[in-house]
Amino acid sequence: MVCMKEPIEREELIARYLSRRLDENAVEEFEAHYLGCDECFDELKISERIVAGLSASNLAWSQESGVSVLRFRKAAQLTHSATELEELRRELLEQTDSRVIIDLSRVTKIDSAGLGQLMSCYTHLVRNQGSLKLLNAGPDVKKVLDMTGISSLLPDFSDEQEAIRSFSRQ
């Protein structure tokens, strides 16, 4: 891909890339150029930050009985390319509460990056004398949690009140 001289064309291409509206070949061509060209890469990173700053968070916190519950507002994926993954990390690491439940009812897919992020969240909370529980993992997500053994460290509850009560039994 030749570096486009027209800033508007460049911004339109970046916007289509960030909103995942490029076909597979166009993505490969875009990444080959933009990840190798310092000027274009800087422009891409700035655009990513602007989009991230302008987009509403997909995460919402609530409190009940001294336990923080983190929910996804809409369908989400915890995969290496998903924006929710970084958002989850940032939200949880900034949280001062040490008793946290993550509601996975709207998480449709999880991969190794998502599993790693859940484990980072778990480690962060344990270091701060806290605990992490999961709530309402769907069948596909539950299967991955079970296959990897993560469900033995991060219990998944189907009832929110039961998950909240489990903190007092520790």
What contacts 47, CB < 8 A, 6 or more positions away? 11, 14, 15, 18
pLDDT at 27: 84
Query: Is-contact 76 88, C-beta < 8 A?
Result: no
By C-alpha distance, which of 71, 73, 132 is closest to 97? 132
Average pLDDT score over residue span 49-73: 82
- Of the chain, the end-to-end C-alpha distance in Å amounts to 58
The average pLDDT across 92-106 equals: 89
> Is-contact 163 154, C-beta < 8 A?
no
Domain positions in the chain are 7-54, 59-168
Write the pLDDT tens digit of every residue in 114-162: 999 999 999 999 998 999 999 999 999 999 999 999 999 999 999 999 9
Distance CA 49, CA 45 (A): 6
CATH of domain 59-168: 3.30.750.24
**Residue 163 in this model has a pLDDT that exceeds 80:** yes
**Predicted confidence (pLDDT) per residue in 2-56, tens digit:** 565 677 887 888 888 877 788 888 888 888 887 788 877 888 878 777 766 656 6
* Neighbouring residues of 44: CB distance < 8 A, sequence distance ≥ 6: 14, 17, 34
Question: In whole angstroms, what is the distance from residue 11 CA to residue 2 CA?
Answer: 15
Tell me, what's the pLDDT at 117? 93
Q: How far is Cα 161 from Cα 133, in angstroms, rounded to an integer? A: 12
Distances (CA, A) of 103 to 13, 63, 69: 35, 13, 7
> Taking the model in full, what pTM does it have?
0.68
